[in-house]
Chain A
Amino acid sequence: MKKRLLLSLLTVWVALTFTFILVRQMPGDFLHTLALQLQNTHGLAYAQAREMAKLQICYDPDEPILKQYFHYLSNLAQGELGRSTTYRIPVLDILLSALPWTVFITFLAAGFSFVVGTTLGFWTAWRRGSWLDPALTFYATLTQAIPDFLLGVMLLLVLGVQLQWLPLRGAYSPETEPGLNLPFLASLLQHAVLPVLAFSIPAVGSWALSAKATATSVLGEDYLLVARAKGLKSWRILRDYLGRNAIIPLISNLATSLGALLGGSMLIETLFGFPGLGYFLAQSIGTRDYPLMQGLFLLSTLAIVAGNLAAEILSHQLDPRSRR
């Protein structure tokens, strides 16, 4: 556990340092351009505008490098991430507005695929030798061959453009008023269907395969034989005896995958114009918006690290055998 924590800290530090180098990689005339813009909009002298530009993007090439590094770290510790150069607002504001969207879509997608996938996997293990087994393997191989964003394109084409069942872009319809009202919530769910499907169709297959594997190993246990000998109904054995034991290793996998998803998917979110973290990350790379890119990258690293830690703790807590 201690080792895990140390590793997490190390990873965050590497990500911090990487983003520092990234910002230093910024072309020098970038600051100059921003300063010129500020000079024009605020009517300042060039030197003054340049100082202001430095403050905005939290980057000062005139300082010695080591001082810059500590400056950068202390700024981060205070939650000061600089200003986005394209949106002209603090990076933190963008992160805070995009995060709920990514959390929403991620939890919906991960929850849906986890529930459907594990149920399918347990059922297949329970009915081993039936047609479900080869069907599941075929489904999993086929969906693995399709990268999720290409699946997204196909879903968009068929369900959005061709059949016009679902909206093409965005998180909700602009005609609705955001808040706790029925039209807004309905439009929210409608807009979420395509991205959630794009995430879930391949994920269901891989959850089902690993659920099948863990359930198969539980099937050989003696307590399952006892449960059957007692004459318990098969749905009860499946839920309380097989499911409960087979799900433990899967729950910590769920935590890991949630962490990975929380960084936001650049491709899916861009494809569906969904204003989450991944959408802004793709935008910021395209427009060379270094402060925003840096903030988003740090946030997704933190999400992964947190997911891994949560997985570790969960597997510790849930399985009495791994406790001392």
Chain B
Amino acid sequence: MKRAGLVILCTFLLIALIGPELIPLDGTSHYEERFAPISWRHWLGTDYAGRDVWAQLVHGSRDILLIAFSTGVFAVILALLVGVGSALIGGVVDALLVGAVDVFLTVPSFPLMAILSALFRVGDPITFGFLLALWSWPGLARSLRAQVLTMQHREFIEVARLMRMGSWHILWREIFPNLVPYLSLNFILIARNAITASVGIMMLGLVPLRVENWGMMLNLAAFQSGALFLPQGRLYLLAPLSAIILFQYSLILVAGAVEEYFDPRLQRN
């Protein structure tokens, strides 16, 4: 089961990386071919304008992955800066940062993400990821702070201090490696939530990304083109929907595997 998650994830990565080079995307309308069924020419049929659904799915995967990846990266960096920083600096800075984390955890994040991405007219996946990351870091920052605080009093850090190792050395060589398992697990979870949030915002039609983006496909299929109500439009609606669910499921499985890999207690052999 754990391996299945990795296999699905790698397939998605492969499709996103080389798929667009192999499968051409024809963005022009072919009205006579609208909502065509599955055929050799159109593996997943066509949409309301006669465009190939499979080609859209392949070309849209890159955006989804980029959004998920950039949200994960930005959020982990922010959480590290705030969480580790506040634990190490302490005092007034710590109190202020803890307060900020609490406020960020309380304000409704999905509406905020939606408002900001709509008002700033986000046009590319990386900026979108950054905006999502702004509201995705506080939970991780809070637990990183707690981990660093307890780690400071563990023997190996005390020893490193007694050996007069520099504080940068302690931070990078002693503390950071211990955070890696937790960071990688949270990276996956944040990326997963970013997919849900970004697809939701796009589905509401608040961010005008390209037509082949999965969220846009859902928006067009469910709200704009009436594909939801046409039997022949089902494929156009279900293709991006299944792709998103499969992708999410693979991330859950991979997260489980990562947890097991780093935690010896969870390993069976």
Question: What is the interface of chain A, defined by CB distance below 8 A to chain B?
Answer: 7-8, 10-11, 14-15, 18, 22, 25, 141-142, 144-147, 149-150, 153-154, 156-157, 161, 260, 263, 266-267, 270-271, 281-282, 285-286, 288, 293, 296-297, 300-301, 304-305, 308
Closest-by-CB residue of A relative to B247 is: A145
A300 to B108, CA, bound (A): 7
Whether the Cβ atoms of A145 and B111 lie closer than 8 Å is no
- Nearest Cβ in chain A — how far from B20, in angstroms? 24
What residues of A have a CB within 8 angstroms of the CB of B204 in the complex? 266-267, 270, 282, 285-286
Known: A7-B99, A300-B111. A146 touches B200 (CB 8 A): no
Give the distance to chain A from B190, nearest Cβ to Cβ, in Å. Answer: 15
List 5 A-B pairs, Cβ < 8 Å: A147-B248, A161-B229, A267-B203, A281-B114, A286-B204
Please tell me if the beta carbons of B222 and A271 are within 8 angstroms of each other in the complex.
yes
Q: How far is the CA of A300 from the CA of B228 in the complex (A)?
A: 30
Which chain B residues lie closer than 8 Å to A260 at the CB level? 108
- Does B196 belong to the interface (CB within 8 Å)? yes
Q: How many residues from B make CB contacts under 8 Å with A?
A: 32
A145: contacting residue among B108, B206, B218, B248, CB under 8 A: B248
The distance in angstroms between the C-alpha atoms of A305 and B102, with both chains bound, is 11
In the assembled complex, the CB of B141 is this many whole angstroms from the nearest CB of chain A, namely 16
Complex: A149 Cα to B241 Cα, angstroms:
10
Q: Is B244 an interface residue (CB 8 A)?
A: yes
Partner of B237, one of A8, A146, A153, A270: A153
Bits for B181-204, please: 1 = Cβ < 8 Å to A, else 0: 000000000000000100110011
B108 near A150 with CB under 8 A, answer no
B205 in contact (CB, < 8 A): yes
Give complex CA distance A14, B104 in Å.
9
**What residues on B are CB-neighbors of A161 within 8 Å?**
228-229
B103 at the interface (CB under 8 A from A): yes
Give the dominant DSSP class at A's interface: helix
| Cα(A280)–Cα(B139), bound, Å | 29
Q: Contact check, A301 vs B241: say whether CB atoms are below 8 A apart.
A: no
Assess whether B31 is interfacial by the CB under 8 Å rule. Answer: no
Are B222 and A14 interface neighbours, CB within 8 A?
Answer: no
Q: Contact between A22 and B119 (Cβ–Cβ < 8 Å)?
A: yes
- Flag if A263 contacts B108 (CB, 8 Å): yes
Chain A residues, Cβ within 8 Å of B176: none
Are B106 and A285 neighbours in the complex by a CB distance under 8 Å? no
Which residues of chain A come closer than 8 Å to B99, judged between CB atoms? 7, 10
Query: What 5 A-B pairs are tightest by C-beta distance, nearest first?
Result: A145-B249, A145-B248, A147-B196, A11-B106, A300-B108
Chain B residues with CB under 8 Å of A145's CB are: 245, 248-249, 252
B92 adjacent to chain A (CB < 8 Å): no
Within the complex, which residue of B108, B205, B245 is in contact with A301, where a contact is CB–CB below 8 Å? B108
Whether B163 is near chain A, meaning CB under 8 Å from some CB there, is no
Q: A141-B252, A147-B196, A149-B203 are in contact. Are A297 and B103 (CB under 8 A)?
A: no
In the complex, are the beta carbons of B241 and A150 less than 8 A apart? Answer: yes
